[in-house]
Amino acid sequence: MPLPIEIVLFIFLLTTAVVIARLEDLFAAAMLTGIFSLLSAGLFTIMDAVDVAFTEAAVGAGVATVFILCTLSLTAKREYQQPTRILPFIVVGITGAALIYGTLDMPAYGDPDAVPHGHLSAKFIEIEEKAFLSQDKHAAEPAQHGSGEKAVGLPNIVTSILASYRGYDTFGETAVIFTATIGVMLLLRTRRREKKVSPPNRDQMETTS
Amino acid sequence: MRMREKIILRVVSKAFIPFIFLFALYIQFHGDFGPGGGFQAGVVFAAGIILYGVIFGLDTMRLAVPERLMEYGIVLGLILYGGVGIVSLISGANFLDYDVLNAHDPTHGQHLGILLVELGVGITVTCAMTTIFYALAGRGEK
């Protein structure tokens, strides 16, 4: 049974999505995408995914909105008017219906018997929990266990999994961010102007300081 | 940017930006114990820097956070992450096995390794976001 706050947030989320799709003023749409991300961040917090909520609030509501606004300042403020076409609407409708049909097979939210919870996560939690409990009793005992499994021994198990058990993956993700930024720089950056940084806006500096 | 007249925005954001940075550092270094970690801290830090740029203009931002420095930072973070892996490799363990980083206590080694690795992620993410902002906003300057 969903909490009332969840229902309210989902209704807001849905409304925002529909309004974004229908708006022609792109500036307003950009601001609404920020609100959409903020609502998602609220939902993630309720679902105890605080890490994801941080990211969504900072990237989705903050940085990405600024990026969209930057893009708008380079392109157009209003959507290009097109005659209403029926075929794209049908295609999108069928795709959406198929996606919703797909979710029917997914395990219920918070189901402890769901497949992802039964395999490795249970093992990680078991190892870390044992290490953590044994740390309290005998601090000197190394985090070593009968099964020969080594524990990381951090209080926050998410960090343990992310940075140690899954250290390779996280290294790969960092490399992806690196590569993506190089791509953006190659595509977007104007040639570096070689002028020595001209005394940047004297009057602006004065008001700043 | 006609931000010079927006006195409320300037004053409020000026008061808030230090706390955004402080919160980002908290997420970064408290990630072992509470929610958060390198990526989250990186984006929050970048959000603070970009807020500064939006409010005070690109030229002022370039003085505070040099563009070149940010570009080096993207590489530096990745090298820090990979460097930890290389160090553990040299110490005779597998790549990114932090147990060997502390000779006495593998748990402390894990702590140190995770701290450094998360720092690498944080640096890369902050600098990547800021560089993308520079690339996008820099185009609109002329």
Question: Which residues in chain A (73-112) have CB-CB distances under 8 A to chain B?
Answer: 73-74
* pLDDT (0 to 100) of residue A188: 86
Rounded to the nearest integer, the mean pLDDT of chain A is 81
Say which CATH number the domain at A55 has.
1.20.120.1200
Arithmetic mean of pLDDT, B115-135: 93
| A150, two tokens | 């080594």
A128 pLDDT above the threshold of 50: yes
Domain count, chain A: 2
Q: Within an 8 Å CB–CB cutoff, is residue B125 touching chain A?
A: yes
B131 pLDDT above the threshold of 80: yes
* pLDDT (0 to 100) of residue B15: 93
Give residue-wise pLDDT tens across range A22-63. 888 889 999 999 999 999 999 999 988 888 998 999 999 989
CB B81 within 8 A of CB B117: yes
Of the two residues A137 and B36, the one the predictor is more confident about is: B36
Q: Which residues contact A109 (CB under 8 A, 6 or more apart)?
A: A47
> Which residues sit opposite A150 in a β-bridge?
A144
How many CA atoms lie within 13 Å of A34's alpha carbon, on the beta-carbon side? 15
* pLDDT (0 to 100) of residue B31: 81
Chain A neighbors of B78, CB-CB under 8 A: 174-175, 178
* pLDDT (0 to 100) of residue A31: 93
Domain range spanning residue A42?
4-80
Instruction: Tell whether B40 is covered by a domain.
Output: yes
User: In terms of Cα–Cα distance, which of B22, B15, B59 is closest to B44?
Assistant: B22
Q: Which residues contact A2 (CB under 8 A, 6 or more apart)?
A: A10
Instruction: Tell whether B32 is covered by a domain.
Output: yes
* pLDDT (0 to 100) of residue A143: 47
Kindly determine whether residue B74 and residue A55, on different chains, have CB atoms separated by under 8 Å: no
Q: Within an 8 Å CB–CB cutoff, is residue A184 touching chain B?
A: yes
| B12, two tokens | 């409020």
A202 burial type by CB count under 10 A (0-12 exposed, 13-18 middle, 19+ buried): exposed
Percent of chain A whose predicted confidence (pLDDT) is above 70: 83
Same domain, A138 and A76: no
Arithmetic mean of pLDDT, A72-77: 84
3-state SS, chain A, equals CCCHHHHHHHHHHHHHHHHHHHCCEHHHHHHHHHHHHHHHHHHHHHCCCHHHHHHHHHHHHHHHHHHHHHHHHHCCCECCCCCCCHHHHHHHHHHHHHHHHHHCCCCCCCCCCCHHHHHHHHHHHHHHHHHHHHHHHCCCCCCECCCCCECCCCCCHHHHHHHHHCHHHHHHHHHHHHHHHHHHHHHHCCCCCCCCCCCCCHHHHHHHC
Q: Within an 8 Å CB–CB cutoff, is residue B61 touching chain A?
A: no
Domain count, chain B: 1
Which one of A6-10, A104-108, A157-161, B105-109 scores highest in mean pLDDT?
A6-10
Q: Within an 8 Å CB–CB cutoff, is residue A197 touching chain B?
A: yes
Residue B61 CB neighbours (<10 A): 22
Instruction: Tell whether B2 is covered by a domain.
Output: no
B53: closest CA of chain A, how far (Å): 10
Give residue-wise pLDDT tens across range B30-65. 888 888 888 999 999 999 999 999 998 899 999 999
* pLDDT (0 to 100) of residue A91: 95
* pLDDT (0 to 100) of residue A207: 45
CB B121 within 8 A of CB B42: yes
* pLDDT (0 to 100) of residue B81: 93
Q: Within an 8 Å CB–CB cutoff, is residue B74 touching chain A?
A: yes
ipTM: 0.88
Give residue-wise pLDDT tens across range B64-79. 999 999 999 999 999 9
> At A136, is the pLDDT very low, low, confident or very high (cuts 50, 70, 90)?
low
Unique residue bearing structure tokens 């229902």 = A7
What is chain B's alpha carbon radius of gyration, rounded to the nearest angstrom?
A: 18
A188: closest CA of chain B, how far (Å): 6
Domain range spanning residue B65?
7-139
| A198, two tokens | 């001209």
Q: For residue A54, give the nearest of B27, B74, B134 by CB distance.
A: B27
Rounded to the nearest integer, the mean pLDDT of chain B is 89
Instruction: Tell whether B100 is covered by a domain.
Output: yes
> At A122, is the pLDDT very low, low, confident or very high (cuts 50, 70, 90)?
confident
Give residue-wise pLDDT tens across range A142-193. 444 444 567 777 788 888 888 888 889 999 999 999 999 999 999 888 765 5
Instruction: Tell whether B125 is covered by a domain.
Output: yes
Chain B neighbors of A178, CB-CB under 8 A: 74-75, 77-78, 124, 128
Arithmetic mean of pLDDT, A87-113: 89
User: In terms of Cα–Cα distance, which of B40, B62, B39 is closest to B49?
Assistant: B62
- Sign, CA torsion A13/A14/A18/A21: positive
Residue B15 CB neighbours (<10 A): 9
> Which residues sit opposite A25 in a β-bridge?
A78
Question: Which residues in chain B (5-24) have CB-CB distances under 8 A to chain A?
Answer: none
Kindly determine whether residue B4 and residue A185, on different chains, have CB atoms separated by under 8 Å: no
A137 pLDDT above the threshold of 90: no
A64 pLDDT above the threshold of 60: yes
Provide φ and ψ at B32, rounded to 5°: -70, -30
What's the DSSP call for residue B132?
Answer: H
Q: For residue B96, give the nearest of A73, A171, A190 by CB distance.
A: A171
Instruction: Tell whether B47 is covered by a domain.
Output: yes
Return d(Cα A204, Cα A87) in angstroms, integer.
53
B32: closest CA of chain A, how far (Å): 5
A126 pLDDT above the threshold of 90: no
Last residue of a domain, one of A80, A100, A128: A80
* pLDDT (0 to 100) of residue A154: 78
What's the DSSP call for residue B21?
Answer: H
Question: Which residues in chain A (133-172) have CB-CB distances under 8 A to chain B?
Answer: 135, 142-143, 150-156, 158-160, 162-164, 167-168, 170-171
A80 pLDDT above the threshold of 70: yes
